[in-house]
Structure 1
Amino acid sequence: MPETTESESRKLLRRLRDTMAEEAEGQERLNKITHLIADSMGTEVCSVYLFRDPETLELCATEGLKPEAVHQTRLRMGEGLVGRVARTGKIINSADAPKEKGFRFMPETGEEIYSSFLGIPVQRLGEKLGVLVVQSKEARQFSSDEAYALEVVAMVLAEMTELGAFTGEGAALKARHQQPVMFRGTCAQEGAARGHVWLHEPRVVVTNPVAEDPVKEQERLNEAVDHLRVRVDEMLAGAATGDKEQMEVLEAYRMFANSKGWMRRMEEDIGRGLSAEAAVEKEQSTARARMSQVSDPYLRGRLHDLDDLSNRLLRILTGQGAQTGAEMPADPILIARNIGPAELLDYGRALRGIVLEEGSVGSHAAIVARALAIPLVIHAERITTEALNGDPILVDGDQGTVHLRPDDTVASAFRDKIAMQADAQERYASIRDQPATTLCGKTIGMQMNAGLMADLPSLEGSGAEGVGLFRTELQFLIRNQMPRRSELAALYSSVLDAAKGRRVVFRTLDIGSDKVLPYMKPNDEPNPALGWRAIRVGLDKPGVLRMQLQALLRAANGRPLTVMFPFVAQYDEYRAARAEMDKAMAREKILGHVLPESLEIGAMLETPSLAFAPDKFFAEVDFLSIGGNDLKQFFFAADRENERVRRRYDTLNVSFLTFLEQIVGRCRTSGTTLSFCGEDAGRPIEAACLAAMGIPVLSMRPASIGPVKHMLRRVDLDALRDVIHAARDRGDMSVRASVMDYLRDAR
């Protein structure tokens, strides 16, 4: 075979482009492609395998193998040399394929007479689409130039597969981005929503992978890279000079933007026939493939920087992305790999729902989504590669499922679900101003959780009696630098104004674990949930805690003030935090500022240890709020971020309810006010059981107040407590079944 030169590579790509442009069915087009690749490379065989499903490859076209094997021969991921290429994403180049580890003979293809094998993964930005193979009878190693040429061809095939160029016969050839797809993720915020896709970072579609004029493409690349470098320099110039971490990240950006190796590789790709966009994306795919193999977090971060720079460069070259002028739909469902709290707040309440590929139930995005009462599903793998702007989409935050381009049956059932929820909300509105008084005459306090000024209007509409938890960390998380004391004082004052005299419990800064400030150096901890977080950070960094306490005192301006310290694990932590408040009060008095009319200081009971604190602690603390989310994971030793174990425990487990009952008893003895704050407080069944255990106040998201109040007004707590105790006496592990039977019979 003649040596594969750059001009021959361009010639092959030009023939590919012409074949793509021909009027032909998908199968016919694939057949022509395999013929011209085999002809150009001087091999007897060229085959294209595409994924039929995430684990199965199907032979979709071949030149040289038996034609009857097409759409009949299938391989599992990792099976045979083809499956190995697909699994690893790495090239296999062998002069004697039958002797290679993992070789599988497939008699239906007639490939036993071919010795040499070159397999190239067909992938786009880390998404595996298939495998391109050439084979010959001659036992020889394919040259690096030949392998490179086929790699470039595979990249073009990946683009064409994404663009639906191979729509036609065969299960593996259904048009991408047209079929209904369901994603199973994790519920991070309950609720149901339907709308249309709005991509946070729209995927750049390369429609011209093959270039006619390499010189012109090189000029386009140079201009775009110059533009990119100017933007990076502007970002550096605008960065906060004292922010060392941010400066280091941007310096890494600049290093990559000026990388000669990066430019050289893209220039070589253009020389072999790719357009500027395709050359950038080819190098980006390589970086993504490396990222999946690298375990070192620093190296992964640097590869992520290169990935991000490639996206920026592609947007400059194509004009796609934010510059396209695309309008957000009236009912947007936001789709993203991940998103920060500031970016999410920019969208505000315009969003109907959010779906993320990454994230966690305690992430910044989840916190903001809960504050905005927007359904959120996380861990929806590969949705950003499947969804296109404007696609119809259904988000079921209750089940953690997402239906992209749903069929009529699914869409109809979902409409019915949303209609039923709307009817229920109307029923809840009728009892908004009525107390949550049970059939046995007990009235349960109903309070709401908040973290943004945008939450406060819900105080009136939800029927909440006050704010049982105002998360103050959001104002720190959404900024690139520490907020000023005056800014915080103004915000807290606005919150008290909006509450119109209702009680607001301000929780001091709760950071650490999964909530890391962008301007605070992260700590590499083996178990962050049990590490340096919340009040531990506040006591170790007293300057930040004092600044926040002073801001709260000034915001009160003579009004009643309620402050709660998070994640208190032992009595001396509470005493130390309380001492900081005493110092802040003394200083404000010296400065002549107006002190609060009254001051309540409480703690969140989120660790089992605090439940066993000395009696003196219970007598001294003004109030306690059980932080159910954290307390539950520590009680059951089951990380709530770990999908393998977080669903293994039940709030209605008799051990947990007995533990809560003991806390209630200690608070009654000491006269300490008690409440429960967490997701379980907003679930009607769980809320009724918490109230039956003696917890007098529940704090939840505003949307849950109606359903919980509706349940409580139909329940006799004394009878329900008897049911719980009876189940415990029988030795039941959970009281859920008994409680559900009781509630059904009581209707």
Structure 2
Amino acid sequence: MNAPARGASSRVLLQKLRDVLASREGAQERLDKIVRVIAETMETEVCSVYLRRDERQLELCATKGLNADAVHQTRLKLGQGLVGRVAQSGEPVNTANAPQTKGFRYMPETGEDIYSGFLGVPIQRLGECLGVLVVQNKEERKFSEDDLHGLEIIAMVIAEMTEAGAFTGEEEPMRLAATHTNPVFIRAVRGQEGVAEGTVMLHDPHIVIADPVSDDPEAEQTRLHHALQRLRGEVDRMLGTEAVSEQNEAAEILQTYAMFARDRGWITRIEQGISEGLAAEVAVEKEQSAIRQRMARMSDPYLRERFHDLDDLSNRLMRLLSGQSANREMPDDAILVARNIGPAELLDYGKALSGVILEEGAVSSHAVIVARALAIPLVVQATRITRDAVDGDTVLIDGDEGFVHLRPEDSVRTAFREKVAMREEAQQQYAALRELPATARCGSTVSLNMNAGLMADLPSLEGSGAEGVGLYRTELQFLIRSKVPRRSEQAALYSRILDAGQGKRVVFRTLDIGSDKVLPYMRPADEPNPALGWRAIRLGLDRKGVMRMQLQSLLRGANGRPLALMFPMVAQFDEYREARELVLNEIEKERALGHTLPSNVEIGAMLETPSLAFAPDAFFKMVDFVSIGGNDLKQFFFAADRENERVRRRYDTLNISYLSFIGQIVDRCTAHGTPVSFCGEDAGRPTEAACFAAMGLRTLSMRPASIGPVKHMLRQINLDDLRRVIDGAAARGEQSARPVVEAWLRKQGLETS
């Protein structure tokens, strides 16, 4: 009589486990039964389940064959032993002689030294390892491919059960905390200042699958193919809209989606999972986990992008299978949590959000710009937030410090609420200064203006006490649309902006695109360093048709009122001279057409490159005004990418060299009677703003919420005294003026944060 074949099919094994999965027993009893069924079906002496206790440790939670006393006592660090190796790498380990395999670690309390054959597979969900499933034999045995595949299927089901909390309970010997219940602290990167307490709303909510096993593969295959048909229909409809032209990048992405949605290999692998006994959602998720594993090992950015497309397509298919509605009710205090998000999507949520937390993103991203416009606290690079958070969780976001507290303890929440109360008290104090000038004790007055980029910004003009708009970012209108806005649409928008300004000066910055600001309908340039590449005025002078259309729109939008515009990223005099000539030519054309001209036109330049500070005197005589673009200037001055956290924090705004350079620019402008201002994040930080004013700047532009704190600081100090403090630090050869400036401010009774 032939010996029974080793490694029963996964479908048979899943059918045996089905009753266990559906039982109402406690978590430990359910897990104990699972390991017994697996061991008996696969004819192994040992089956064990190790689950993640925390970020660094695994715990033996159930076993058939090892010493029972080791359960909940044996713990391994990730990477420790063969089990830890599986958890760390996310890859199976299959060896006939475990004790002789490199990395083996003997845990005496388990009694596993007598077992040679070892097969361990990760219990993972969407690329996240939740534990390890192990089978072992006394005899030397290299497990077959069927064994390995079957165990991976079972591990996938255990992962779903773990995610659903099937192995946790208050009265169980399972002492592991349920998933998504522990407090989590995440250090992130500040995007937009502000603090908020609210409720998590996931941009892509988790789908928890209550019944991961199916006993009717045919019905599951039918569900899959119906969902695939709907998915293809969605993609085809998006491709067919007028907003998507055949030439643009959005069309390329959707065409890639359409190709993947019909990819036979991808679909076959999902079908295979269903035929092995998995529910359709789990089969899709199994393939998605494999995609994310491959994506993590890829260095080629193009291939990673293509796998991201397939990952996104899997998410869409999962939502269709689960019947999850895209139109969820938003909590009153919603804090949006997303891996990343585009400006248009963020605008769709609007001011109803209390805050935004992004797992990826950069401080100069479009989403950050929109969040600033909406005055919504935002942090980026919050590691694992989309994995740790679930809809309905309480979350605290601190955009001032770059912290996130998910499911905070009471003590943390109390301290946070005290900080919120202190901020509200300070805002009331700042509101009392709204009508007062930012006049320092030495008698010098600084004009404080606000930055804007959306119509949503403009209501802040009056409430903030801003004297005007020092920078209006015109590119946001282009970034949030799927095609170039028409001339009439642009002109109408610019007219509404000037209306909202109620006679106050509004400075329009012409299109600053390229680098990190790639329009949805513009093919990105293949450049090794986009920040130093084809962007802003360089792009505009090469594509004069786009620039002319915007200039015409600005002239028509002014409709007889004064117009101030400036060109970004001017590196040399000739660039400004050529751009200025374009403006003058368009004015003459508008005059010839009989159109109403602005009552006055100011044509300025942004000084964002050190080279422009050394332009010929003729530049400073010709230009109507200069705006120092601090964000870009600082990164070019220090050769430190402001999106690179490893270097950008190493260079201080109050560095003596940088402050001296700002002073030199002010002196050149003053010598030629050229108005000069400073625009950027640093202008909105009270300590930095005070130092800029001490170096001679008399106009600063910042986000609306910063005007109150900056005005409060300036009104308390003597700028001449502060300049002497800075000059003293320079004379002593100190690298940064910050220590002495902050010490001086504290003596004045002022906070320096």
Q: Which deviations, in whole Å up to 9, do the C-alpha atoms of 1:261-288 show, x marking residues without a partner?
A: 2222222211111111111111111111
**Residue identity matched to 2:51:** L
Q: Which residue of 2 aligns with 1:690?
A: 692
Q: CA deviation at 1:210?
A: 0.5
Matched, 1:214 2:220: no
Q: Which residue of 2 aligns with 1:223?
A: 226
Distance in 1 separating the partners of 2:129 and 2:7: 28
Q: Which moved more, 1:704-713 or 1:313-322?
A: 313-322
**Residue identity matched to 1:656:** Y
Q: Which residue of 1 aligns with 2:743?
A: 741
1:282 pairs, out of 279, 282, 286, with 286
Q: Which deviations, in whole Å up to 9, do the C-alpha atoms of 1:495-516 show, x marking residues without a partner?
A: 0111011100000101112111
Q: Which deviations, in whole Å up to 9, do the C-alpha atoms of 1:125-171 show, x marking residues without a partner?
A: 11121111111112222122211111111101111111111115678
Q: Which moved more, 1:578-587 or 1:686-695?
A: 578-587
Matched, 1:319 2:320: no
Q: CA deviation at 1:328?
A: 0.6
In the alignment, is the contact (CA less than 8 A) between 1:203 and 1:321 conserved in 2? Answer: no
Distance in 1 separating the partners of 2:623 and 2:13: 78
TM-score of the pair, normalised by structure 2:
0.96
Distance in 2 separating the partners of 1:4 and 1:519: 57
Distance in 1 separating the partners of 2:246 and 2:589: 29
Q: How does 1:204-353 map to 2 (within 5 A)?
A: 204-238=207-241, 240-322=244-326, 326-353=328-355
**Residue identity matched to 2:92:** I
Q: Which moved more, 1:37-46 or 1:251-260?
A: 251-260
3-state SS of paired residue (2:240): helix
**Residue identity matched to 2:24:** E
Q: CA deviation at 1:88?
A: 2.0
Distance in 2 separating the partners of 1:594 and 1:173: 73
3-state SS of paired residue (1:62): strand
**Residue identity matched to 1:183:** I
Q: How does 1:255-654 map to 2 (within 5 A)?
A: 255-322=259-326, 326-654=328-656
In the alignment, is the contact (CA less than 8 A) between 1:53 and 1:172 conserved in 2? Answer: no
Distance in 2 separating the partners of 1:95 and 1:509: 65
Q: Which residue of 2 aligns with 1:178?
A: 181
Distance in 1 separating the partners of 2:144 and 2:63: 22
Distance in 1 separating the partners of 2:248 and 2:332: 41
Q: Which residue of 2 aligns with 1:730?
A: 732
- The verdict on how the C-alpha distance between 1:307 and 1:132 changes in structure 2, with shifts beyond 3 A counting, is same
Q: Which residue of 1 aligns with 2:55?
A: 54
3-state SS of paired residue (1:645): helix
Q: CA deviation at 1:632?
A: 1.0
Q: Which deviations, in whole Å up to 9, do the C-alpha atoms of 1:70-115 show, x marking residues without a partner?
A: 3333333223222222222122222222343333333332222111
Matched, 1:115 2:95: no
TM-score of the pair, normalised by structure 1:
0.97
In the alignment, is the contact (CA less than 8 A) between 1:47 and 1:134 conserved in 2? Answer: yes
**Residue identity matched to 1:316:** L
Matched, 1:191 2:221: no
Distance in 1 separating the partners of 2:282 and 2:293: 16
Q: CA deviation at 1:452?
A: 0.4
- The verdict on how the C-alpha distance between 1:566 and 1:92 changes in structure 2, with shifts beyond 3 A counting, is same
**Residue identity matched to 2:386:** T
In the alignment, is the contact (CA less than 8 A) between 2:168 and 2:174 conserved in 1? Answer: no
Pairwise CA RMSD of aligned residues?
1.6
3-state SS of paired residue (1:652): coil
Q: Which residue of 2 aligns with 1:149?
A: 150
Distance in 2 separating the partners of 1:746 and 1:257: 65
Q: Which residue of 1 aligns with 2:91?
A: 90
Q: Which deviations, in whole Å up to 9, do the C-alpha atoms of 1:339-377 show, x marking residues without a partner?
A: 000000111111110000010000010111111111111
Distance in 1 separating the partners of 2:401 and 2:145: 50
Distance in 2 separating the partners of 1:224 and 1:742: 66
Q: Which residue of 1 aligns with 2:38?
A: 37
Q: Which deviations, in whole Å up to 9, do the C-alpha atoms of 1:176-204 show, x marking residues without a partner?
A: 11221111111111110111111112122
Q: How does 1:9-24 map to 2 (within 5 A)?
A: 9-24=10-25
Distance in 2 separating the partners of 1:684 and 1:170: 55
Q: CA deviation at 1:243?
A: 3.2
3-state SS of paired residue (2:185): strand
3-state SS of paired residue (1:132): strand
Q: CA deviation at 1:667?
A: 0.9
In the alignment, is the contact (CA less than 8 A) between 1:433 and 1:463 conserved in 2? Answer: yes
3-state SS of paired residue (2:648): coil
In the alignment, is the contact (CA less than 8 A) between 2:377 and 2:397 conserved in 1? Answer: yes
Distance in 1 separating the partners of 2:490 and 2:6: 66
In the alignment, is the contact (CA less than 8 A) between 2:167 and 2:174 conserved in 1? Answer: no
In the alignment, is the contact (CA less than 8 A) between 1:50 and 1:172 conserved in 2? Answer: no
Distance in 2 separating the partners of 1:82 and 1:173: 18
**Residue identity matched to 2:362:** S
**Residue identity matched to 1:710:** H
In the alignment, is the contact (CA less than 8 A) between 2:180 and 2:388 conserved in 1? Answer: yes
Q: CA deviation at 1:118?
A: 1.0
**Residue identity matched to 2:581:** A
Distance in 2 separating the partners of 1:643 and 1:655: 21
Distance in 2 separating the partners of 1:231 and 1:351: 28
Q: Which residue of 2 aligns with 1:129?
A: 130
In structure 1, list runs of 5 or more residues that go unmatched.
none
Distance in 2 separating the partners of 1:421 and 1:180: 25
3-state SS of paired residue (2:646): coil
In the alignment, is the contact (CA less than 8 A) between 2:189 and 2:380 conserved in 1? Answer: yes
In the alignment, is the contact (CA less than 8 A) between 1:204 and 1:321 conserved in 2? Answer: no
In the alignment, is the contact (CA less than 8 A) between 1:354 and 1:376 conserved in 2? Answer: yes
Distance in 2 separating the partners of 1:171 and 1:475: 54
3-state SS of paired residue (2:166): coil
Q: CA deviation at 1:556?
A: 0.8
Q: Which moved more, 1:371-380 or 1:90-99?
A: 90-99
In the alignment, is the contact (CA less than 8 A) between 2:608 and 2:633 conserved in 1? Answer: yes
Q: CA deviation at 1:665?
A: 0.8
Q: CA deviation at 1:3?
A: 3.3
**Residue identity matched to 1:262:** W
Q: Which moved more, 1:457-466 or 1:306-315?
A: 306-315
1:201 pairs, out of 194, 199, 204, with 204
In structure 2, list runs of 5 or more residues that go unmatched.
none
3-state SS of paired residue (2:120): strand
In the alignment, is the contact (CA less than 8 A) between 1:512 and 1:534 conserved in 2? Answer: yes
Distance in 2 separating the partners of 1:616 and 1:721: 30
Identity in percent: 65
Distance in 2 separating the partners of 1:570 and 1:99: 68
Q: Give the aligned length.
A: 744
Distance in 2 separating the partners of 1:295 and 1:124: 22
Q: Which moved more, 1:306-315 or 1:547-556?
A: 306-315
Q: CA deviation at 1:5?
A: 7.4
Distance in 2 separating the partners of 1:741 and 1:549: 48
In the alignment, is the contact (CA less than 8 A) between 1:60 and 1:172 conserved in 2? Answer: no
In the alignment, is the contact (CA less than 8 A) between 1:52 and 1:171 conserved in 2? Answer: no
